[in-house]
Structure 1
């Protein structure tokens, strides 16, 4: 979750009402709100999010939706002007990189401020902050080079790298969609088998969300959206729907009943049978794809999600980057307050409920701000002057 490079935050209701498919906005909004809830752990709303009812969570949903959105935004444009579109994509990737760095700095300041204000120095040992406190020079360099990332602050860096890979994906798709998916799948499999991932600078291990693995989900969304934009459709199969529903139900039972102790690996590598999030193991990948297939092919769900452009959920999804940054900052403040209040779940629940409301308020503010620069608003301002 996570902002999306496909949709400019300045899109206004008047200009996009006849063009924009709001279904992506709605599900992106739900993913962003869920990410916020899960980023303030220890309160009563967290167990209600869908990560507790299946193998995947809002991160998988966000990356898949992002792939769908960039396919709509850049698929046709890239065929007409590769260089210009590549420059646009790289500029967007750089914007996400800057947003990631600034959000990380603000996160550090929030925890440092909490440590000073509440006399709780242990706050600087949370969410992977201690390495930067103890090794400032290496830590700052690691932050800038993406070799050290704070907990709950690793989605924008993943998305920035995925956008850097996007021009190559679009070029491969132009050659053949099957070629893109085959090479992307091989990269996903190889990264999972041999644990190939960007390394952390200050400690052993890898990025929490490995872009070499997650790019496969992104590429699937890209290929599907370009196919849909060219008049293609998802295959509607009773058998495929039954398999998807069965897998979703099995996943729900597995998580709800804590069947993790059952060994179903059959000697196969963990990337094919495990539940690892870093390398996006197959059970997690299949779960989000099964959910997406059911949502896309069940008419009632598709109709429900096609909300008006003025709907509050649509507004949140339309301003996804700004909303994600806003939600991350709120969540980091919430984590500090949860710690200093003894992780009181009632306080956390009230805080998260209020934060959800602020998401809608901030989205409306972004709509109002975007409207000030629209041609209609500019003309009205000139007439008033």
Structure 2
């Protein structure tokens, strides 16, 4: 692209990217940024902007979108380089990424503890100690800290990174199976998802009876679907436009909209009465029930099937959303910390709608400003070299072929 967007975000200095960087396909970055903003808004419950996010208009939300996008990103960053002579290094890179995600999770977890404990003390609000699943840690700190470090206990709203890290630990096996046969990988992945959902197989928690909030054995299926799809495209394949599939996807998205807005959840109970497992008929997020899975896939197919939407998502590399999505892990960590501080503020202000809305808007602006800071730092470190391909910033060579 030769055109550049003029950015004026608060007092942030305009980022000027090299020409090579502006030629990137930024659709993944933009979609990732939108998912991150949605997750941040939903992690500050009780303010009016929460009612405008996707979870209020369909079965899936920002978490499903983020994992599907991640599967596509990882396919481009790891799958395309998983070749003889390079397999061990790519597998090791995946393990290192999992360790990075673990460290990021520990940062958000312990800062969340500090924020809620400090808020309870400063504002004399002991009820804060009963929020976001931290009371179990405080009741037995020695056992509680150990559980946090071992991922046997997760603070509320701090549960995406453990699941995501587990997916990276699975990645070497995913790479091996996909190299052997994409169909084999999808079959194994789908079977694991189904069995885990039927028999409730998931990592257990240590302080309280239950499972991880987001079961990696279930969510890996969505991740793998994105991975296999993009690997198919990079090998010269097509995701063909099919009018029947397009109509079915659109109908399902509309049905989901009506179902959620009219609160028709009891219909799911009627479906369960036929003896079908809840992973097929329910809306459980832990085991990624089928209605949620189908919804995000239907949305994805509609997006890539409509050239107008695709063009709208393809922004210049110096567009705010492209920059935000390019630094996804840092922004996610910052957004989580801001969301936890926001929850403390809303608690002590009795969820004042004006305070909550204003805080979320300021938090979004702060994340964009932080993304600009990270971009300046990256450009200075790279000596104005083009943007490198990585898990956090990769192109999307998705092509749609219409059937005649």
Given the alignment, which residue of 63, 66, 76 partners 1:62?
66
Tell me which residue corresponds to 1:264. Answer: 271
Q: Distance in 1 between matches of 2:73 and 2:384?
A: 27
Given the alignment, which residue of 161, 175, 179 partners 1:156?
161
**Is 2:152 the partner of 1:147?**
yes
Write out aligned runs for 1:106-255 (5 A). Answer: 106-255=111-260
**Is 2:400 the partner of 1:356?**
no
What secondary structure is seen at the aligned counterpart in 2 of 1:199? Answer: coil
Q: CA deviation at 1:165?
A: 0.3
Q: CA deviation at 1:78?
A: 0.9
Question: CA offsets, 1:309-339, max 9 Å, x none?
Answer: 0000000100000000010010000000000
Contact 2:22 2:316 (8 Å CA) reproduced: no
Given the alignment, which residue of 333, 336, 352 partners 1:328?
336
Question: CA offsets, 1:23-62, max 9 Å, x none?
Answer: 0000000000000000000111000001000000100000
Q: Distance in 1 between matches of 2:327 and 2:97?
A: 14
Tell me which residue corresponds to 1:3. Answer: none
Q: Distance in 1 between matches of 2:278 and 2:384?
A: 56
Question: CA offsets, 1:197-223, max 9 Å, x none?
Answer: 000001111000000000000000100
Q: CA RMSD of the aligned region, Å?
A: 1.3
Deviates more, 1:12-21 or 1:315-324: 12-21
Tell me which residue corresponds to 2:34. Answer: 30
Gapped regions of structure 1 (runs ≥ 5) = 1-11, 378-385
Q: CA deviation at 1:13?
A: 4.1
Q: CA deviation at 1:15?
A: 8.0
Contact 2:17 2:384 (8 Å CA) reproduced: no
Given the alignment, which residue of 271, 290, 303 partners 1:295?
303
Tell me which residue corresponds to 2:104. Answer: 99
Q: What TM-score comes out, normalization by structure 2 length?
A: 0.89
User: For this pair of structures, how many residues does the alignment match?
Assistant: 366
Specify which structure has the higher proportion of helix. Answer: 1
Q: CA deviation at 1:267?
A: 2.0
Q: Distance in 2 between matches of 1:376 and 1:362?
A: 19
What secondary structure is seen at the aligned counterpart in 2 of 1:209? Answer: coil
Tell me which residue corresponds to 1:4. Answer: none
Gapped regions of structure 2 (runs ≥ 5) = 1-15, 386-404
What secondary structure is seen at the aligned counterpart in 2 of 1:17? Answer: helix
Question: CA offsets, 1:67-91, max 9 Å, x none?
Answer: 0000000112112411010111111
